Structure 1
Amino acid sequence: MRADRQTVWDVLADFGSIHDWLPGVDHSCVLATAADGPVGTARRVQMGRMTLVETITEFDAPAALAYDIAGLPRWLRHFDNRWTLQSAGPGATTVTVTSTVDLGPGRLRTLAARVLCLLLGRLSSDTMLAGLAARSETAHA
């Protein structure tokens, strides 16, 4: 991204404001904050008729942010995203988002989880990265 790491982090770590930069999010807000820091903070994300609750599991400013996602179909036993930010020279940042899916035990479910992650990578992750880049680069300008 054409923005320094701190600028990108500031957008990403404003946890209740994902609606400001992610297309398809109608509304988002912080539901609960943890008394001893960001880990445990939860946000509500509304996308059409789907409501998700995302809870921070890792917060290492300005390098990494991870959160669990609840509210998806039951067959998705566990879903999370982990963002990492690395400086890529003056005014540039390399951002990676990694999604982890658990569909349960068994070879068929493991294979299905891999396929689902590939699809999410092409659709959701690319959209999230593009939205974050657009917002960060605007904030940087």
Structure 2
Amino acid sequence: MAEPQAIWNVLADFGALSTWADGIDHSCVLNEGPDGEPVGTTRRVQVGRNTLVERITAFDPPTSLAYDIEGLPNRLRKVANHWRLRRSGNATIVDLTSTVEVGTGRLAQMAERVALRVLAKQSDAMLAGLASRLEKTHA
């Protein structure tokens, strides 16, 4: 069982996503936020032939990290992830919430469901990668 700070240290190392998340070929920080602050920091994420840019929108150590995901098909108006950490007894609960906004209408809602299924699989992979990283680090 990892302490919240140990988990936070992995998540907050924003450019190092590819060192622990399966399916991520490369990641690096592109730009820091204004005045070196975390909010506004962007990272480049390479997944196969797809390049994404993720921008931090909330950073509250050691409990909350949120970022928007750019570089997906234009039909997806907004895609975001929000990591939350909370202590529960001797354990830490890690919650990863993905948000997809596509628009209104039947086709948009169907596209939103498909996008959420894809994100759910990626989220499961990231959670598994995070757990694996922490097990190796704290074994």
The TM-score with structure 2 as length reference comes to 0.91
Cα distance, 1:39 vs structure 2: 0.3
SS in 1 for 2:46: strand
Which residue in the other structure is 2:100 paired with? 101
Cα distance, 1:116 vs structure 2: 3.0
Distance 1:51 1:120 in 2: 15
Cα distance, 1:124 vs structure 2: 1.1
Cα distance, 1:107 vs structure 2: 4.2
CA 1:72–1:119 in structure 2 vs 1: closer, same or farther (change >3 Å)?
A: closer
Which string of whole-angstrom CA distances, capped at 9 and with x for unpartnered residues, describes residues 74-122 of structure 1?
A: 21111000000011222x211011110011222442353245324432x
Which residue in the other structure is 1:7 paired with? 6
Which residue in the other structure is 1:73 paired with? 73
- Equivalent pairs counted in the alignment come to 138
In the alignment, structure 2 segments of 5+ residues that lack a partner are none
Are 2:130 and 1:132 equivalent residues in the alignment? yes
Are 2:56 and 1:60 equivalent residues in the alignment? no
Cα distance, 1:128 vs structure 2: 0.8
In the alignment, structure 1 segments of 5+ residues that lack a partner are none
SS in 2 for 1:82: strand
Cα distance, 1:69 vs structure 2: 0.4
Moved over 6 A (4+): none
SS in 2 for 1:99: strand
Do 1:99 and 1:117's aligned partners in 2 also have CA atoms closer than 8 Å?
Answer: yes
Which residue in the other structure is 1:46 paired with? 46
Percent identity over paired residues: 56
**Aligned-residue CA RMSD in angstroms?**
1.5
